[in-house]
Chain A
Amino acid sequence: MTTTASRTTSAAPPVVRPRRRLKPWNMLLWVGAAVVAAAVLTPIVYLVIGAFHRDTDGGMTGGGLSLANLHAVYGSTKYLRPLGNSVLLGALVALCSTVLGGVLAWICERTDVPFRRLFAVLIPIPIFISPLLTSLAWVALAAPRAGFLNASVHAVVPSINSVMTIYSMQGVVMVLTLHLTPYAYLAIRAALSTIDPSLEEASTTLGVSKLATAWRMTLPLVRPAIITSALLIFVFAIEDFSAPSLLGTPAGFTTIPSEVYFDVARGGTVGEAAMAGSLLLWLAVLGLSLQRRVIARTARYGSIGGKPSGRRVIALGPWRYLAAGVSLLYVLMALIGPYCALVYGSFLRFVTPHINRRNMTLDNFRRMISVDNIDALQHTLVLAFVGSTAALIIYLFVAFVLARTHMYGRRLLDYTSILPFALPGIVIGIGLLWAFVSLPQLGIYGTVLGLAVAYAVRYMGLGVQQIKGAFVQITPDLEGSASTLGASRFVVFRTITLPLLARSIRAVWTTLVVLFSLEISATILLYTPSSRTLPVLIWNEVQEDPPAAFAIASVELTAIFVVLALSRAFVRQSSDSFSAG
């Protein structure tokens, strides 16, 4: 697509499409945009309503307005610890992920590390393994004494009972770091690849050593990418609910999302949970607005760009084995180790480090497809494929309105569609919970449709931004030339725009399939016994019967790997046909 990109820049003249004249077309745009805006604003509005609501015996409908929740959350010390923990967790994970991601990015982009291509393929995959699954796998690996890793070390060195304990703040930090590192890796690697190697060569010709060049020249050039991904990872880390609840709570380490969840789950007041959720909202909004500010400021680095003229590789000599070791360690800890642990664990009758035929069973899989659980499997499949496709169409519509029309108020729609980025899953969960219960005439409380709505809202920021980015890549001339040749607006979209967007759309769809099949943060507050999903089953089985949870998780993860592999094969095949275009 390089040619397309350069064309985009060469098309200097301002492009203004003819103003929309057709009335019905305008109406359709307006109705669609209004529905989308309503869907995004509903959880926020109801979060506010809930926060200022006085609960009556746990009921959410009665009662009146009150400041009791405001007092309970902002006026007491009850939430001070979780808030501090959330900030600490976010900061630590952002730091670790960014450092690790940056090192991995530099290794894969700029060094002659062995198996570079393989690492480049494997390192991003942990993005698709949700924190719930990573946590679960690390419970299997590093639970005190019984974890496979701990038991193996104990067998070799009997004096060490547990080499590490996953039930701790360090455990939460590690799991989230493993899961979120690819965000930093991808962003920093992209930034590294756009730096003209001749800039670095210029530095080395001036007598600066290679490593000093990397430190003094390269690092400042990728600094914006480092800062923005660190802030994004901070936001993702503070909003995660599953890792702190699963791993932190037993050690007394609670964060806002886990506190909010246990507030609701223990039959506490939902209003107070909503108010507590607002704490999270402030943090997320702060992180993201800082991130946007950095992105806006980085425009001045643009001029440094130059034309990327091939990858320049630093010969590491014997150090390349260390580089390979670091990469391998990450892949083992974040991808291969957890997957193997989940698969192995799913054949066990009970959690035990002792490998023995009598401990092995297929019962876990049998139970998974039992009558009790088959509905959860169906729900997840429906959400993953039907739900994500519906969401994709909505995102495509919004992105089209934003990128290709001059509809009045589309800036507002733009902001609205970005908003969910700053909405933690659990906050969307509370907001929609309140909305669905308060509006029984909708009839979607506790239904799979309700979950689909929550997911569509949650991932709207991601989906719309990505598809909008794909629209921007297509110069409007490509569509204009089709118009001058007699194609109506609809035909242009079908024959030109859509095929050119196909690859990006497929990538976004793949991501959505994975995200929709693993969502837990919003689901955990919105599901009812008639709308359970596989992640909910996993969550419920974790305490009761870990091998059952391992079985569900390993099946789900295997399915996700198949989806990713198919999608990759598809993209390869289609990119062959017009590679140079």
Chain B
Amino acid sequence: MTTLEVQNLSMSYRSTAAVSELSFSVAAGEIVGILGASGCGKTTTLRCIAGLLRPTSGRILLDGVPMVDETVFVQPEARGIGMVFQSYALWPHLTVANNVAYGLKRNGVPSEERRRRVEEALSLVSLDGYGTRYPGELSGGQQQRVAVARSIVTRPKALLLDEPLSNLDAKLRERMREDLRELLRPLDICTVFITHDQAEAMVIADRIIVMRDGRSVREGTARELYTAPGSQFVASILGAASFLRGVVKSVEPHCVVVATDQGHHLAASCNGDARPSPGNEVLIAIRPEAVTLHPYAEASGNCLPGTVQRASFLGGHSEFIIETVAGEVRAHSNAWFEPGAQVALAIASDGCSLVTPD
């Protein structure tokens, strides 16, 4: 089984560290997404794996064979790792077919087989018949698929994708997300892609690594990261969340009861390593869909009162910004409330969790 292992990878440019002590591994057939804001070191990580950069320290192993460590540096051409560049990096002077055939030619694949495999690869990305075109004659989405075809036609052991969909417009990006996943799934190779788009990461990746300032902050499936973000940063980079401060009132087996300043009680799930004890000051993240809005008159039990600040009708649901005594809360609701309306917020505990503040 092929695996890609990154161990304690660090890379600094002059004195600034772009990546520090990053470790993760990818199994064959697994798609790992690295999610982070621009400048967090994700592209540097990818380039180190591809061999376009030599890391300052750390090891990268492919199939147990070191590509980089203290003494070894395997040149990119000898690694057998495919890469799709953010700019696609298609060669404008070669036809689509010659772009795709380039890697096969370099690896000495005979011309008959080469032609067959190029055709296969192009039909895999639904670009049959485009072989004689030049990249400049294709749309952005088509160029992106040529770039993917070019990198998988050589059957690499690992595939790296640098912001594969970021150059496409929003509609196309949404469709290509699913297409890309369908395309990569059966390949059975180690795939790493980086993105700053949480939806892209959630749709395509089996596992997400959240990066910040060159370090990995959190790793897990999209579900795990969404329901139990653990930190304010992860909660805000993956989906929307509102943050409220409070003091721990009591600790239950599966949740923590938190009191806001005004004495309202909220039940929040807690999956962090440290169990807080009563009296601790904590931060809770509230997902907008965990909030149920009621007209103020119907308020009961542990509801948080608030006033609608802004209301946006989004079609399937509406989004509200509610000013409460404890702070601003974002809420989704099927019902409609006019700005200025008095509402009561009921918050479900599974969409409300304790997070460590930044």
A7 to chain B: which residues have CB within 8 Å? 87, 89
Checking B44, B54, B151 against A13 with a beta-carbon cut-off of 8 angstroms, the contacting residue is B44
State the CA gap A268–B24 with chains docked (Å). Answer: 78
State the CA gap A483–B79 with chains docked (Å). Answer: 10
Asked if A578 is an interface residue, CB under 8 A from chain B, the answer is yes
Asked if B168 is an interface residue, CB under 8 A from chain A, the answer is no
Checking B18, B85, B92, B103 against A477 with a beta-carbon cut-off of 8 angstroms, the contacting residue is B85
B136 to chain A: which residues have CB within 8 Å? 3, 578-581
B102 to chain A: which residues have CB within 8 Å? 482, 485, 487, 495
Q: A483, B13: Cβ atoms under 8 Å?
A: no
Interface hits, A195-218 → B, CB 8 Å:
none
State the CA gap A17–B92 with chains docked (Å). Answer: 22
Binary flags per residue of B120-146, CB closer than 8 Å to A gives 1, else 0: 000000000000001111000000000
State the CA gap A491–B52 with chains docked (Å). Answer: 16
Interface hits, B299-349 → A, CB 8 Å:
none
B44 to chain A: which residues have CB within 8 Å? 13-14
Q: How far is the CB of B229 from chain A (nearest CB, A)?
A: 27
Q: A475, B87: Cβ atoms under 8 Å?
A: yes
Q: Given A10-B167, A484-B83, A4 and B53 touching (CB < 8 A)? A: no
B134 and chain A: residue at smallest CB distance: A578
A13 to chain B: which residues have CB within 8 Å? 43-44, 47, 86
Q: A484, B82: Cβ atoms under 8 Å?
A: yes
Asked if A577 is an interface residue, CB under 8 A from chain B, the answer is yes
Most buried by A among B78, B102, B134: B102
Asked if A11 is an interface residue, CB under 8 A from chain B, the answer is yes
Q: B38, A481: Cβ atoms under 8 Å?
A: no
State the CA gap A170–B82 with chains docked (Å). Answer: 66
State the CA gap A7–B76 with chains docked (Å). Answer: 22
Q: B52, A18: Cβ atoms under 8 Å?
A: yes
Q: Given A10-B86, A12-B38, A13-B43, A484 and B106 touching (CB < 8 A)? A: no
Checking B75, B92, B137 against A483 with a beta-carbon cut-off of 8 angstroms, the contacting residue is B75
A492 and chain B: residue at smallest CB distance: B77
Q: A488, B77: Cβ atoms under 8 Å?
A: yes
Interface hits, A531-581 → B, CB 8 Å:
577-581
A578 to chain B: which residues have CB within 8 Å? 92-93, 134-136
Q: Given A484-B82, A581-B136, A16 and B87 touching (CB < 8 A)? A: no
State the CA gap A435–B73 with chains docked (Å). Answer: 46
B11 and chain A: residue at smallest CB distance: A16
A440 to chain B: which residues have CB within 8 Å? none
Most buried by B among A15, A16, A18, A485: A485
Q: How far is the CB of A283 from chain B (nearest CB, A)?
A: 39
B80 to chain A: which residues have CB within 8 Å? 486
B162 and chain A: residue at smallest CB distance: A13
Q: B50, A480: Cβ atoms under 8 Å?
A: yes
State the CA gap A486–B13 with chains docked (Å). Answer: 26
Q: Given A7-B87, A475-B87, A579-B136, A486 and B92 touching (CB < 8 A)? A: no
Interface hits, A1-48 → B, CB 8 Å:
1, 3-4, 7, 10-19, 21
A581 and chain B: residue at smallest CB distance: B92
Q: Given A13-B47, A16-B13, A21 and B134 touching (CB < 8 A)? A: no
Asked if B215 is an interface residue, CB under 8 A from chain A, the answer is no
Q: How far is the CB of B118 from chain A (nearest CB, A)?
A: 13
Q: Given A484-B51, A485-B103, A488-B77, A499 and B93 touching (CB < 8 A)? A: yes
Q: Tally B residues with Cβ within 8 Å of A.
A: 40
Interface hits, B17-63 → A, CB 8 Å:
18, 38, 43-44, 47, 50-54
State the CA gap A12–B52 with chains docked (Å). Answer: 15
Asked if B148 is an interface residue, CB under 8 A from chain A, the answer is no
State the CA gap A14–B52 with chains docked (Å). Answer: 11
B103 to chain A: which residues have CB within 8 Å? 485-486
Q: B76, A478: Cβ atoms under 8 Å?
A: no
Interface hits, B185-242 → A, CB 8 Å:
none
Q: B86, A486: Cβ atoms under 8 Å?
A: no
Q: How far is the CB of A268 from chain B (nearest CB, A)?
A: 55
Asked if B284 is an interface residue, CB under 8 A from chain A, the answer is no
Asked if B107 is an interface residue, CB under 8 A from chain A, the answer is yes
Q: How far is the CB of A371 from chain B (nearest CB, A)?
A: 48
Asked if A418 is an interface residue, CB under 8 A from chain B, the answer is no
Q: Given A10-B87, A578-B136, A581-B135, A486 and B93 touching (CB < 8 A)? A: no
Q: Given A485-B103, A485-B154, A480 and B134 touching (CB < 8 A)? A: no
B160 and chain A: residue at smallest CB distance: A484
Q: Given A21-B73, A579-B136, A484 and B91 touching (CB < 8 A)? A: no
Q: How far is the CB of B197 from chain A (nearest CB, A)?
A: 16
Checking A11, A496, A577 against B91 with a beta-carbon cut-off of 8 angstroms, the contacting residue is A496
A15 to chain B: which residues have CB within 8 Å? 52
Asked if B266 is an interface residue, CB under 8 A from chain A, the answer is no
State the CA gap A47–B69 with chains docked (Å). Answer: 52
State the CA gap A15–B50 with chains docked (Å). Answer: 13
Q: How far is the CB of A512 from chain B (nearest CB, A)?
A: 23
Q: A484, B47: Cβ atoms under 8 Å?
A: no
State the CA gap A580–B18 with chains docked (Å). Answer: 36
Q: A480, B76: Cβ atoms under 8 Å?
A: yes
Asked if A508 is an interface residue, CB under 8 A from chain B, the answer is no
Asked if B265 is an interface residue, CB under 8 A from chain A, the answer is no
Asked if A500 is an interface residue, CB under 8 A from chain B, the answer is yes
Q: A18, B134: Cβ atoms under 8 Å?
A: no
Q: Given A500-B93, A580-B136, A581-B92, A18 and B53 touching (CB < 8 A)? A: yes
Q: B87, A577: Cβ atoms under 8 Å?
A: no
A488 to chain B: which residues have CB within 8 Å? 75, 77
Q: How far is the CB of B173 from chain A (nearest CB, A)?
A: 15
Q: A484, B50: Cβ atoms under 8 Å?
A: yes
Q: A477, B154: Cβ atoms under 8 Å?
A: no
Q: B73, A18: Cβ atoms under 8 Å?
A: yes
B135 and chain A: residue at smallest CB distance: A581
Q: How far is the CB of A310 from chain B (nearest CB, A)?
A: 19
Q: How far is the CB of B142 from chain A (nearest CB, A)?
A: 13
Q: B54, A487: Cβ atoms under 8 Å?
A: no
Q: B52, A480: Cβ atoms under 8 Å?
A: yes
Q: A483, B51: Cβ atoms under 8 Å?
A: yes
State the CA gap A189–B196 with chains docked (Å). Answer: 40
Q: A4, B79: Cβ atoms under 8 Å?
A: no
Q: How far is the CB of B155 from chain A (nearest CB, A)?
A: 12
Q: A483, B76: Cβ atoms under 8 Å?
A: yes
A475 to chain B: which residues have CB within 8 Å? 87, 89
A577 to chain B: which residues have CB within 8 Å? 93, 134
B166 and chain A: residue at smallest CB distance: A10
25 pairs, A vs B, C-beta closer than 8 Å: A1-B92, A3-B92, A4-B92, A10-B87, A11-B87, A18-B73, A19-B54, A475-B87, A475-B89, A477-B89, A482-B91, A483-B51, A484-B51, A484-B81, A484-B151, A486-B78, A488-B77, A502-B93, A578-B134, A578-B135, A578-B136, A579-B136, A580-B136, A581-B92, A581-B136
Q: A interface vs B, CB < 8 Å? A: 1, 3-4, 7, 10-19, 21, 475, 477-478, 480-488, 491, 495-496, 499-500, 502, 577-581
Q: B interface vs A, CB < 8 Å? A: 13, 18, 38, 43-44, 47, 50-54, 73, 75-83, 85-87, 89, 91-93, 102-103, 106-107, 134-137, 150-151, 154, 167
Q: Which 7 A-B pairs have the closest CB atoms?
A: A581-B92, A580-B136, A485-B103, A581-B136, A477-B89, A486-B106, A13-B43
